[in-house]
Structure 1
Amino acid sequence: MIDFDLVNKWINTNPVLVSIIKFMIALVLILIVIQLLRRYLKKKISNTVIRYKAQKGIEFIGYVILIFLAIVYFSGSIKDFTIIIGLFTAGLAFTLQELILSIAGSVYIFLVKVYKPGDRIEINGIKGDVIDVDSIYTTMMEIGQWVSSDNYSGRIVKLSNAFVFKGPIYNYSQDFPFIWDEFNLPIRYGSDIDLAKLIILKIASETLSDYTAKSKEQWNEVVNKFYIEDAEVDPTLAISLTDNWIQFNLRYIVDFKKRRLTKHTLNEKILLEIEKTNGKIILASTTIELIKIPDLKTKRDGEVK
């Protein structure tokens, strides 16, 4: 049988310990509720984007409630909120500065919209698609490294949110989900240059028509939003002369996730059309011209000079 007098006596003599136990119970209950709500939303919401944002919203609200509860519970009054926050920040600023900076970075990312899940970014020398942003880390699916072009390497990278304050962030998709790309075609001297220009620009315009049309509208929004000059989004061709060939430089706009595929398609179509010209256009390659072959003197064994 429980001796309630003894229990009350223990509670009265250990008020701090009792407060901590009560707070831990409240903490566990709130965490359980957060997880239950996340699972409920996962089952009920089919849209991936909305489900992700709803789960993150519940998680954020839960953490805010926990912090508020801790401050009110242990201070006993909301009037001490500012003092407690100041003492707490000063005490942890040195030992947990990276953690604090990471949390501040997550708030900055959320408020300023530096990037969001689904964006392709480069930060701290790492390129990849953002697949998650939490209160401490940004999680990315890495691209590049030992694989060519913009293909996934297969590695998932967790990067501290503190890096948003430490260097530039390159965003491939925010506001304007297109990028400019280009490649060079070497054409041999003596080829039909006008025909080559016609073929390259015709194929580029037909292949990239959807990207060009969509990018024009979005580029106008970028120009209106930022202090930036207007730019050419239609495919353009520049010609330069080299020692060995005429170099055609094709510049065009493309979806940031389809750069490699688009370049392959353009090269393939242009090559097929050039082969149909029956020698009017010839792709060039590096050549070596021998001006003079030096005289070589040989001597057989036993031969007297």
Structure 2
Amino acid sequence: MKSIELIRQWMLEHPTSSSLIKYLIWVIFIVMIIQFLRKIIRKNLPDSTTRYKSQKGIEIIGYLLLIFLSISYFTGNIKDFALAIGLLTAGITITLQELILSIAGSIFIFFVKVYKPGDRIEINGIKGDVIDVDTIYTTMMEIGEWVSSDNYSGRIVKLSNAFVFRGPVYNYSKDFPFIWDEFDLPIRYGSDLELAKKIVIQVASEELSKYVKASISKWKDVVDKYYIEDAEVNPTLAITMNDNWIQFNLRYIVDYKKRRYTKHVLNELIGAEIEKTNGKVVLASTTVEIVKIPNLNILKADETHKA
């Protein structure tokens, strides 16, 4: 009892210190509650999407409680909120500019829906799949760099949310989760061009039919939502003749995550069909082909002299 009385008396004699201690106790208590609830959610929610959103929701509620608590303690009255925020902003705007922009960026990303976890984006020259968005950073699993095509490099990149205000954000999956891709096929002059065209279009149409069907309704939604012209989602073929061969350019639509694999399958199937033509269609190359060796007359030195 005596110790309690001493503590009470000390608190009465030092109101500022006691108020600060109470504030720190409340902060620690709220942080512990947040961590405890996050741990329960992580263990009891099997679905990763629901688990992620629930954890983020608890974090936001915790931040709001801490802000409300801080305003109550340091202003003494919730009505002084605008004044407190104004004074705080005036003092730290320059020193914490990047942090403020990052927080503003996170709010912008959330409300405007620039991107979300699971989207594939390119921002500030970095391409990857978004795996987390918090109040300051966007975390991405990087794609590309020293790895060819759309494969993961293995690096996890943390990027400031402030970058959404500093340049374009390329989203591969928002609204329309398909992209157009293309590749060239060199066909030798003298090949059966009609047969070659038939092979390329038939293989592409059969292999890509699932993407074409899925993309039609999605593209219609994009056309209705934005000021954009309608586009062809079926495979198309363009032919160009140059000095060495006839170039077939195949353009097609594909799932944004399956670009590399789809290109591999198309090349493999088209190559197999061309082999079945028994020489009617031949792929060209830059290899030098010697058609005929001219006859060479080599004379000895004495024969040259006689001649």
Equivalent residue, structure 1, for 2:131: 131
The 3-state SS of whatever aligns with 1:162 is: helix
Q: Aligned pair 1:104/2:108, yes or no?
A: no
Aligned length: 296
SS of alignment partner, residue 24 of structure 2? helix
* Residue identity in the other structure for 1:98: E
Structure-to-structure mapping, 1:142-157, within 5 angstroms = 142-157=142-157
**Counterpart residue identity of residue 134, structure 2:** D
* Amino acid of the structure 2 residue aligned with 1:20: L
Aligned partner of residue 51 in structure 1, secondary structure: helix
Query: What is the CA-CA distance between 1:19 and the residue it aligns to?
Result: 1.1
Q: Following the alignment from structure 1 to structure 2, what is the Cα–Cα distance between the partners of residues 4 and 161?
A: 49
Q: Which amino acid aligns with 2:90?
A: A
Amino acid at match of 1:134: D
1:207-229 deviation line (CA, Å, top 9, x unaligned): 00000000001000011011111
1:92 match: 92
Unaligned 5+ segments in structure 1 are 301-305
- Report the alpha carbon displacement of residue 178 of structure 1 after superposing the two structures with TM: 0.3
| Number of the residue aligned with 2:82 | 82
Deviations 1:136-165 (A, max 9, x none): 110000000001000000000000111111
Deviation at 1:100, TM superposition (A): 0.9
Q: Is contact 1:212–1:233 with CA below 8 Å preserved after alignment?
A: yes
Rounded to whole Å, the distance in 2 between the matches of 1:241 and 1:128 is 37
Deviation at 1:13, TM superposition (A): 2.7
Q: Deviations over 1:63-99 (max 9, x none)?
A: 0111111102221211100110111111110111111
Specify the SS of the correspondent of 2:285.
Answer: coil
Instruction: Tell me how far apart the structure 1 counterparts of residues 95 and 83 of structure 2 sit (CA, whole Å).
Output: 20
Distance 2:236 2:115 in 1: 31
* Distance change (3 Å), C-alpha of 1:70 and 1:165: same
- Measured against aligned partners, the alpha-carbon deviations of 1:96-122 in whole angstroms (never above 9, x if no partner) come to 111111111111111111100000000
Q: What is the rounded CA distance, in whole Å, between the counterparts of 2:284 and 2:175 in structure 1?
A: 40
- Give, as a single letter, the amino acid of the residue that structure 1 aligns with 2:227: Y
Structure 2 residue aligned with 1:57 = 57
Letter in 2 for 1:236: T
What one-letter code is carried by the residue in structure 2 that aligns with 1:117?
A: P
Q: For residue 193 of structure 1, what is the aligned residue in structure 2?
A: 193
> 2:271 is matched with which residue?
271
State the 1:6 CA deviation: 3.8
SS in 1 for 2:251: strand
Question: 2-side partners of 1:224 and 1:51: how far apart?
Answer: 33
**CA distance in structure 2 between the partners assigned to 1:287 and 1:43 by the alignment:** 62
Residue matched to 2:166: 166
Matched residue, 1:9: 9
Deviation digits for residues 222-261 of structure 1, max 9, x if unmatched?
1101111101000000000111000000000000000000
SS of corresponding position for 1:208: helix
Give how far 1:7 is off. Answer: 2.9
- 1:139-288 matched pairs, under 5 angstroms: 139-288=139-288
Encode CA deviations 1:19-52: one digit per residue, 9 max, x unaligned: 1110111111111111111111112211111111
Moved more, 158-167 or 40-49: 40-49
Q: Give the Å deviation of 1:289.
A: 7.8
Q: Output the amino acid matched with 1:278.
A: N
Does the CA contact (< 8 Å) of 1:141 and 1:154 recur in 2? yes
Distance 1:58 1:236, change over 3 A: same
Instruction: Report the counterpart of residue 303 of structure 1 in structure 2.
Output: none
Asked if 2 retains the 8 angstrom alpha-carbon contact of 1:244 and 1:287, the reply is no
TM-score of the aligned structures, taking structure 1 as reference length: 0.93
260-269 vs 90-99, which moves further: 90-99
TM superposition shift of 1:10: 2.1
TM-score (norm 2): 0.92
Contact persistence 1:186–1:283 (CA under 8 A) = yes
What secondary structure does 1:240 align onto?
strand
* Letter in structure 2 aligned against 1:266: L
Looking at structure 2, the residues matched to 280 and 289 of structure 1 have their Cα atoms a distance apart, in angstroms, of 19
User: What root-mean-square deviation, in Å, do the aligned CA atoms of Structure 1 and Structure 2 show?
Assistant: 2.0
